[in-house]
Amino acid sequence: MFCAETLQYFSENLRKLGVGISGLELWSGHLDPLKASDDELKAWHKRFLDAGIKVTAYNVSPEDDWTDDQIDRGFQAAKLLGTNVITSSVTKKIVPRLDKACQKHKMKLGLHNHWFVPRDPNQFETPEDFLDTLKSSSKWININLDVGHFYAAGFDPLKFFEENHARVVGLHLKDRGSDPKHVDHAFREGATPIVPVMQAAKRLKFKYAAVIEWEVEGSDPVKGCAEALAYLKKALA
């Protein structure tokens, strides 16, 4: 379950650094839709609202063996949390079932990409993985483009975003390096074209959230997020 102390810690420390949390993408690993009651989800929604925080998306990643009722519960939980966007790291096999749920609940779902070593044809990594799936799915199935993973996998996130932004419902921002392991860096120290992607998002009037994902090993995530946000604000000014 999402920890109230964690939210308070981030809110207070970011406030001290002059950075306010206005939105977040909530992860089901912190607030499990299969375990949380309606009342608990509503209470968290109120807590976020009272803190001035909008849940921009709810990350729920159903396993292939989830029942239809379990899949539905993820959508119901997202609604109770005040968002109409779900993001998912899933296999291609389950997408047709997710598409049916999307149509039923009239909610958009963004398929999340990763960098796999070795390549896994059942997962989402390449441009073709996304585009082939979109061709066979309804308008409710979309893309949650992880810019860092896309770069690490050897593809151009700027070109892909510019060409397919109409089907992107969320961006994940991390700055991975050009080394063989594409290690995560502080923003501006890696090789991922984060700023060009954000400049394109601004130019294209992208209406969904771009989420800072701070995964730099051994660093302070509060300070890292604050510095990353300040860097992006300056770059986009």
- Is the Cβ–Cβ distance between 172 and 112 less than 8 Å? yes
Domain assignment present for 159? yes
What's the pLDDT tens digit per position in 129-167? 999 999 999 999 999 999 999 999 999 999 999 999 999
Count CB-CB contacts under 10 A for residue 117: 9
> Domains in the chain: how many in total?
1
Any idea which residue has 């002059």 for tokens? 18
Q: Measure the CA–CA gap between 213 and 185, rounded to whole angstroms.
A: 11
pLDDT value of position 88: 98
Give yes or no for residue 10 having a pLDDT over 70. Answer: no
Q: Residue 234 to residues 198, 199, 201, 224: CA-CA distances in angstroms? A: 12, 11, 15, 15
pLDDT value of position 9: 66
pLDDT value of position 1: 35
Domain assignment present for 5? no
Give yes or no for residue 11 having a pLDDT over 70. Answer: no
Domain assignment present for 208? yes
- Domain of 101? 20-236
Q: Which domain CATH number covers 151?
A: 3.20.20.150
Name the pairing type of β-strands 141-146 and 23-27. unpaired
Q: Any idea which of 14-18, 38-42, 128-132, 181-185 has the lowest mean pLDDT? A: 14-18
Average pLDDT score over the chain = 93
pTM (two decimals): 0.94
pLDDT value of position 56: 95
Domain assignment present for 1? no
3-state helix/strand/coil string of the chain: CCCHHHHHHHHHHHHHCCCCCCEEEEECCCCCCCCCCHHHHHHHHHHHHHCCCEEEEEECCCCCCCCHHHHHHHHHHHHHCCCCEEEECCCHHHHHHHHHHHHHHCCEEEEECCCCCCCCCCCCCCHHHHHHHHHCCCCCEEEEEEHHHHHHCCCCHHHHHHHHHHHEEEEEECEECCCCCCCEECCCCCCCCHHHHHHHHHHCCCCCCEEECCCCCCCCHHHHHHHHHHHHHHHHC
Domain assignment present for 2? no
pLDDT value of position 146: 98
Domain assignment present for 8? no
Domain assignment present for 10? no
